[in-house]
Amino acid sequence: MAQISFFHYIHRDSVLHRMDGRLKLICLLLVSLSASFASEWHNYLGALFITVIALILTKLPVNALLKEMKFFAAIIILVFIANAVSVPGDPIPNSLLTNISVQGITAGGRFAGRLIIILIACIVMTGTTPLLTLKNVIEWYLRPVPFIPEVQVATMINLTFVLLPVILDNYSEMMSAQRSRCIQLNRNPIRRVAYIVFPLLSRTIRRADEIVYAMEARCYCVERTRAVFKTNKVDWLIIAVCVVNLIYSVC
């Protein structure tokens, strides 16, 4: 089985692993808002500094995570190039590409910075929070909202996070199997994609059916014991740092 670290919970003994899941979700929201509202480069550096420090504190396998960010790196580069080419402005002096402007590069860099910060924050969240805890947190926040079945909604979100790592695992395993069969020598790109997409879709649907059958076999119902959360001073200190960073990004 291929070993994938991306969007997986990895057990470690760290401050963020022991942090209350409710406050951790608020921190994710605050950091995402900080990246969205940032307008100057020093604002981005502040949010990036916090997320990188958080990633280091989690003791997650950073090298493995960087290797598995190839897909997102391609998206970030594509977004940067699209902004650099499409945004009008002052041309770059002595540049061979006349359709690239200084304002376009700036806009592309800012958009790419937002994506990187939010991506690292999501990695920290999923890597330090078990799926059951995440489900309980979502259910806790939705409980006061009227006319919303909080247990069903939390379960659906939880199953989404369950299937996402499964898809990544299956994709990595199938790519290794296809490379061992020299699929890269096939010059037809449509056929190469078909060799991956259809088996991956079939295995994902089969895995979803297995999860449904397992839940039915265990007599799953919405009447369950509610989770108990505990906070400490370190959790509130982390929240305060995220709030200060948000104010710094807005101002």
Write the pLDDT tens digit of every residue in 37-86.
Answer: 888 888 888 899 999 999 999 998 888 887 777 778 888 888 888 888 88
Residue 145 has pLDDT above 60, yes or no: yes
* Span 84-104, average pLDDT: 74
* Span 221-244, average pLDDT: 90
For residue 2, the model assigns a pLDDT of: 45
Residue 1 has pLDDT above 50, yes or no: no
Total-model pTM: 0.80
For residue 238, the model assigns a pLDDT of: 94
Give percent of the chain above pLDDT 70. Answer: 94
Pick from 75-84, 90-99, 108-117: least confident = 90-99
* Span 105-115, average pLDDT: 87
| Residue whose tokens read 């969205």 | 36
Look at the alpha carbons of 78, 81, 85, 88 in this order and tell me if their dihedral is positive or negative. Answer: positive
For residue 5, the model assigns a pLDDT of: 59
Helices (H), 87-188: 102-128, 131-142, 150-180
Q: Quick one: which of 24, 59, 1 has its CA closest to 130?
A: 24
What's the rounded Cα separation, in Å, for the pair 251 and 244? 11
> How many of the other CB atoms lie within 10 Å of CB of 247?
12
What's the rounded Cα separation, in Å, for the pair 235 and 131? 20
User: In sequence order, which residues have a C-beta less than 8 Å from that of residue 44 and are 6 or more positions away?
Assistant: 35, 38, 110, 113, 114, 117
Q: With bands split at pLDDT 50, 70 and 90, how would you rate the model's confidence at 169? A: confident
| Residue whose tokens read 């101002």 | 251
Q: Quick one: which of 37, 35, 27, 40 has its CA closest to 113?
A: 35
101 bridge partner residues: 91
